[in-house]
A and B are shown apart, each in its own frame.
Chain A
Amino acid sequence: MKILVAIKRVLDYSVKVRVKTDHSDVDLANAKMSMNPFCEIAVEEAVRLKEAGVASEIIVVSIGSKAVQETIRSAMAMGADRGIWIDSGEAALSPLTIAQLLAKVVQAEQPSVVLLGKQAIDSDDNQTGQMLAALCDYPQATFASKVTIADSKATVVREVDGGLQTLQLALPLVVTTDLRLNEPRYVKLPDIMKAKKKPLDTQTPESLGVSLNNSVKMIKVEPPSERKAGIMVPDVDALINSLKNQAKVL
């Protein structure tokens, strides 16, 4: 059984985000970049499925400039077998375009399971997995906190508002990962060396027959407003009083 994992290179979670002075975008110059944490959970889940003997091959795919090759190599160090880099240059891509590109890879590779992060921590769109499932006409299980695959069926526990929902789905399917699905491992340093030798294939939007019509335009980026200093209240009554009368949230 093949698993395809889509991964995205984003600003590292530990970096303080800065907005460009002209407000055109977030400033990424010299910033530390890493694999999106939800994508990392997706790779980890794929590796666990392989270690459990459920999956036989893990393919990772990432879209972007040359730098995403490093992110693909990180996934290989975690245990992915081969990679596909879709060279889209520096173009800003909307979730729909990403899903269209990924759909072509799904068509070519015919994986039984497609794993994605539920969202990327840069723009937090939370759309790509859902759009991909629609384009491929696959069943989808988003926000997964537990994935079990047996007898050509997937059982996925999803995190939903107010609790958990369990779905049973036919393969092939799309799963997007939530935070509690697993805790990604620290890569063993010698495995990083092995990643160097794993195959990495390059594609382009043209070679996949997808045109990059961007349906989303970014107009302006603003940093969140500074948090104002809090106030100290002597007791619970004063707290309730100020929540009611000053903050007006009760």
Chain B
Amino acid sequence: MADALTISGLDCFYGETQVLFGLGLTLRQGEVHCLLGRNGAGKTTTLKAIMGLVSARTGSVRLGDIELTGLPPHEVPKAGVAYVPQGRRLFAEMTVAENIEIGLMTRQRGKDVREAVLDIFPVLRERLRQRSGTLSGGEQQQLAMARALCLEPRVLLLDEPTEGLMPSMIAKIRQSVASLRERGVSTILVEQRVEAVLSVADRVSFIENGRVRETVGVDRLREDPDIVKRYVGVS
């Protein structure tokens, strides 16, 4: 099957500091691809580079036939990539409804999409008028997911969506990732801990010092847990 997203030779800098070094990665159609790596390895930067929020000095990010590095950042979501940032980055002063409205920004009409998304996360429907900054952590994460799903993305980027959540909420997020996968959405899932991904991921890439060191199927990972220790340390 064709690849959903192909990253190759990506070099990214913050000022003069290089953070990504010729990073390459392929996201297959319909797979959940997990990025694992230590703090500061460059996982978030990789996602930001895909979104065009950090510009790539060299290298390419292709979404089907479209070269994303050539687009202005606000065109990337229109091309079909949605982003759930680390720490959620909700518009805290705005209501739940307004945050969802922002997710619908790329389309002229979004009523059906909005309803469909609220059906996935029914707690949000009860809290549309509430300021999103006052939601609980789990509700905020659901809102961040809902806001991204409003784009009806082909590719979904999730940056540590289970960070700081209790187990039942983690299960809920994991379950929505799995059901998106069934609908053909390709997902890049950034996580710190390997247990968080074994049940949902198809493949795992290990990132170290701004490079992808190794990409393996989850089956390999179950058989040989030592691989994880090599890149993430004891977890």
A binds B: no
A-binding residues in B (CB < 8 A):
none
